[in-house]
Amino acid sequence: MLKSKSRLLLATALVSIGSTAAVQAADLVLGVPNWPAANATSNILKVVIEENFGLDVELQSGTNPIIFEAMDSGSMHLHPEVWLPNQVNLHEKYVKENKSVVMNEKPVQAVQGMCVTKHTADTYGITSINDLTDPDKMAVFDKDGNGTPEVWIGAPGWASTVIEKIRAKSYGYDQTMDLKEYDGTVAWGELGAAAAADDPWIGFCYEPHFIFVAYDLVYLDEPPHDPATWTIVQPTDDPQWLEKSSASTAWKGATLHLHYASEVRDKFPEVAAMLDNYQMPAEVLSQAGYALSVEDQDVEEFAKKWVNENEDVVLEWLTN
């Protein structure tokens, strides 16, 4: 009985050691943020790196701060889609100060702001950010009948959600609407249902994104971005961040950048060169999000198929 128990303990230990070795065997660990386009990008890069450099690549989910912290420590090696200026605090800390992370200099141009379906704009005359302070117009968004309209401003943990709170305060529609924060997949499901039923819908939008492939959406009119009207204090920096912040004009045009750990340049310089050359067409990100979220395609199969069908794009990453 004792010998059997000893054998069992030894076998368990060997399995544990083997599992740990398997986890540690990956040459590179790529971060996977929780939105479809970024998921697709990490999977595409995994296929490209494994097929062209013969390295073992692991994927690991994480939030923006977790992925940056892991790149800083060396336990992860890539973030596929960093939004700037949204994540400028992480960029400043790890790229500029610590120099433990490198930014790819070939960004995708992005747009973000509050938007409605075209049906909502045409039917209810909601076309301007100022309309959000009109209780009569906003009444159509009182979905639960409690007398206060609701608007989705983004998911918890998104940097843009913090800024949308500031924008709502600055424009004044935090006084007329209940600012809702929940997962993007839920919001996009609500958008799909509203579009199918010709019901009104309003919420935070950004592109490239599959919703602009799937639905007819329009941004609300705003004054052009004026940096003098934007003062952003992060909640992590000051408990009175909201009172001290303001943003009363449109977002500045955003850019999406791949970021990777600096140590990749030392350990795998050819991979680093490819990551520096990497440039993804914006429409691919929207199409990828549509394929994963609407068509429910398997992300690994999507990535393999995309790489096979886009050898010219991949070749540019590898040779430029």
pLDDT in tens, 87-129: 998 999 999 999 999 999 999 999 999 999 999 999 999 999 9
pLDDT value at residue 4: 40
Please determine, for residue 15, whether its predicted confidence score (pLDDT) is greater than 80.
Answer: no
Instruction: Provide the residue range defining the domain that includes 198.
Output: 110-247
User: Which of 319, 235, 221, 222 minimizes the C-alpha distance to 279?
Assistant: 319
* Sequence-separated (6 or more) residues with CB below 8 Å from residue 315: none
Check whether residue 115 and residue 96 sit in a common domain: no
Please determine, for residue 42, whether its predicted confidence score (pLDDT) is greater than 70.
Answer: yes
pLDDT value at residue 185: 87
Which pLDDT band holds residue 25 (cuts at 50, 70, 90)? low
Specify the amino acid at residue 16: S
Which of 247, 277, 295 is the last residue before a domain boundary?
247
Return d(Cα 254, Cα 256) in angstroms, integer: 7
- For residue 78, is it within any domain? yes
* DSSP element (H, E) containing 178: strand 178-181
Map tokens 């609500």 to a residue. 190
pLDDT in tens, 236-294: 889 999 999 999 999 998 899 999 999 999 999 999 999 999 999 888 999 999 999 88
pLDDT in tens, 143-182: 888 999 999 999 998 889 999 999 999 999 999 999 999 9
- For residue 238, is it within any domain? yes
State the chain's mean pLDDT as an integer.
91
Check whether residue 124 and residue 240 sit in a common domain: yes
Check whether residue 87 and residue 123 sit in a common domain: no
Which of 247, 269, 302 is the last residue before a domain boundary?
247
Check whether residue 145 and residue 242 sit in a common domain: yes
Which of 247, 264, 299 is the last residue before a domain boundary?
247
Check whether residue 193 and residue 223 sit in a common domain: yes
Check whether residue 214 and residue 121 sit in a common domain: yes
Check whether residue 194 and residue 129 sit in a common domain: yes
- For residue 3, is it within any domain? no
- For residue 212, is it within any domain? yes
- For residue 166, is it within any domain? yes
CATH of the domain at 206: 3.40.190.100
CB 116 within 8 A of CB 218: yes
Check whether residue 122 and residue 211 sit in a common domain: yes
Which pLDDT band holds residue 194 (cuts at 50, 70, 90)? very high
Torsions phi, psi for 101 (to 5 deg): -130, 145
- Note the pTM of the prediction, 2 decimals: 0.76
Please determine, for residue 69, whether its predicted confidence score (pLDDT) is greater than 50.
Answer: yes
User: Which of 133, 263, 120, 124 minimizes the C-alpha distance to 198?
Assistant: 120
Torsions phi, psi for 60 (to 5 deg): -140, 125
- For residue 233, is it within any domain? yes
CATH of the domain at 272: 3.40.190.10
pLDDT value at residue 234: 87
Tally of domains in the chain = 2
pLDDT in tens, 196-214: 999 999 999 999 999 998 9
Which pLDDT band holds residue 1 (cuts at 50, 70, 90)? very low
Check whether residue 243 and residue 119 sit in a common domain: yes
- For residue 14, is it within any domain? no
Please determine, for residue 3, whether its predicted confidence score (pLDDT) is greater than 90.
Answer: no
- For residue 52, is it within any domain? yes
Check whether residue 134 and residue 93 sit in a common domain: no
Check whether residue 51 and residue 114 sit in a common domain: no
Check whether residue 240 and residue 120 sit in a common domain: yes
